[in-house]
Structure 1
Amino acid sequence: MTGEADQRLGAADIAALLRREISKGILQLHDRLPPERVLADTYGTARGTVRKALNLLESEGYVETRAGSGTYVVHMPTDSSSDAIDNATPLELMDTRFALEPHICRLAVLHGRRADFDKMEALCTRMETLADDPVSFSEVDTEFHRALTSSTRNGLLIWIIDQIAHVRSQDDWTRMRHLTLDARTINQYNAQHRQILNAIRTREPERAANIMKEHLETARLSLTRAAET
């Protein structure tokens, strides 16, 4: 296991470190991960944060938790897809999101259900309490965009957004997050998330898509400014 952690590591950061060890073959197929207590000690964080990280990896298909036995590696990514994902920059990620997420909003209008919207509503409410906690906000923000994509019922899109979440948890993105996520920016993102959700709930696909474009443009400008510092 690596010693790259610090006290501010969130679940997405820990998931990224474990994902990298799986990708590099440090953790191999069928290996059992150390217990949550050991991982918490290794990464200097709470067991609940480790549990969230393992749940994230399980939702992505990297690991499987077996009752009474532990958590095991069950998937090894192919080299080609892993390299493309690992080498993507934050600005390349934004270009990909621009290509996909406005249309994801349109599909959410067509296929989304009340339970999907209720889940996004709960995530919006959580994000609105995190203006002074950029690490936790970023984790819930990732959950919001994943929930939005899940409402499309399109398995390929869900997989692609999961890969984007992987990029967002890498070191370059983490550094950018610390440079860009202040309380003012988080509040702006929260307002845009609410507007997107409201447009989807009221079945206005183009309005939802346009607000998503504005949201992504806000994020891209923040990243551009951070890259210039």
Structure 2
Amino acid sequence: MGRKSFADVATELRRSIDEGEFQRFERLPPSRLLAEQLGVARNTLRDALYQLEKEGLLETRAGSGTYVTAVKQDVVPSAVEEATPLELIDARFALEPHICRLSVLHGRREDFEALEAFCKQMEAAQNDSTLFAEADTAFHRRLAASTRNNLLIWLISQINTIRSLDEWTRMRHLTLEEQIIQQYNAQHREILNALRSREPERAAVKMKEHLETARMSLMRAAEA
């Protein structure tokens, strides 16, 4: 059938959820029909649905089907739409180190297994900035979800909205070179190792180091 990868299909479905084409609590069409609509093989669709389920956007219920669990974004708030990539990093500095602490307290084995899967996806995408960015966003989204704090989950979803805007896309192409992706991958591993070993302060420190690397990379690109 089509040549789309599961990541391409996941992106299409994620956008459909964000734009309200699929509403919260709505059941998706049967997999055969949905695969035909998207022009992909059913195994590709299955992998895409599994990806979105790990991100907390979908839920599969045995004998019933796959349902949307995410809340759509009705309007991009002006503060988000007008934010610069550096403002994004500053906002993340304020939230994500403490998110790591809460993940240590409330994270479950399935959360850490999902984070491990995203690490592997990022490592496999060392030469593909687009796929890396998709897995990177999913890693940080799942990290927030592991806190079980709905307000923090919502705040991170708002921050992640910036990543789909034109300015962020432009900066991503400028900054996500192979060497920096390697560095990010090593840092994500250090964060995950600290979470798994239940060391909240070490996890927070590793997140700060990761965000500082991202900040410096963005500043260099802005000055170029």
Structure 1 partner of 2:113: 118
Task: Check conservation: 2:56, 2:142, Cα contact below 8 A.
Answer: no
Of 165, 168, 171, the match for 1:170? 165
Q: Which residues of 2 match residues 1-40 of structure 1 at below 5 A?
A: none
Q: CA deviation at 1:190?
A: 0.5
Task: Check conservation: 2:80, 2:158, Cα contact below 8 A.
Answer: yes
Task: Check conservation: 1:11, 1:139, Cα contact below 8 A.
Answer: no
How many residues in Structure 1 have an aligned counterpart in Structure 2? 208
Q: CA deviation at 1:14?
A: 5.6
Counterpart Cα distance in 1 of 2:144 and 2:114: 12
Counterpart Cα distance in 1 of 2:93 and 2:16: 28
| Structure 1 vs Structure 2 CA RMSD | 3.9
Of 121, 125, 143, the match for 2:138? 143
Structure 1: tracts of 5 or more residues without a match: 1-8, 30-34, 41-46, 62-70
The change in CA–CA distance for 1:100 and 1:75 in structure 2 (over 3 A counts) is closer
Verify: 1:193 aligned to 2:208, yes or no: no
1:4-26 superposed Cα distances (whole Å, 9 cap, x missing partner): xxxxx95687679768977xxxx
Task: Check conservation: 1:16, 1:170, Cα contact below 8 A.
Answer: no
Structure 1 counterpart SS, 2:183: helix
Structure 1 partner of 2:213: 218
The change in CA–CA distance for 1:185 and 1:21 in structure 2 (over 3 A counts) is same
Task: Check conservation: 2:100, 2:203, Cα contact below 8 A.
Answer: yes
Verify: 1:160 aligned to 2:155, yes or no: yes
Q: Which residues of 2 match residues 40-59 of structure 1 at below 5 A?
A: none
Task: Check conservation: 2:119, 2:188, Cα contact below 8 A.
Answer: yes
Task: Check conservation: 1:105, 1:200, Cα contact below 8 A.
Answer: yes
Could you list the structure 1 runs, at least 4 aligned residues long, displaced by more than 4 angstroms after superposition.
9-22, 35-40, 58-61, 74-79
Q: CA deviation at 1:202?
A: 0.8
Counterpart Cα distance in 2 of 1:20 and 1:110: 30
Q: CA deviation at 1:125?
A: 1.5
TM score, norm. by length of structure 1: 0.71
The change in CA–CA distance for 1:143 and 1:76 in structure 2 (over 3 A counts) is closer
Counterpart Cα distance in 1 of 2:121 and 2:158: 23
Task: Check conservation: 1:16, 1:166, Cα contact below 8 A.
Answer: no
The change in CA–CA distance for 1:99 and 1:12 in structure 2 (over 3 A counts) is farther
TM score, norm. by length of structure 2: 0.73
Structure 1 partner of 2:27: none
Counterpart Cα distance in 2 of 1:192 and 1:127: 11
The change in CA–CA distance for 1:16 and 1:176 in structure 2 (over 3 A counts) is farther
Structure 2 partner of 1:179: 174
Structure 2 counterpart SS, 1:128: helix
Structure 2 partner of 1:228: 223
Structure 2 partner of 1:105: 100
Task: Check conservation: 2:18, 2:72, Cα contact below 8 A.
Answer: no
Structure 2 partner of 1:6: none
Q: CA deviation at 1:82?
A: 2.2
Verify: 1:82 aligned to 2:77, yes or no: yes
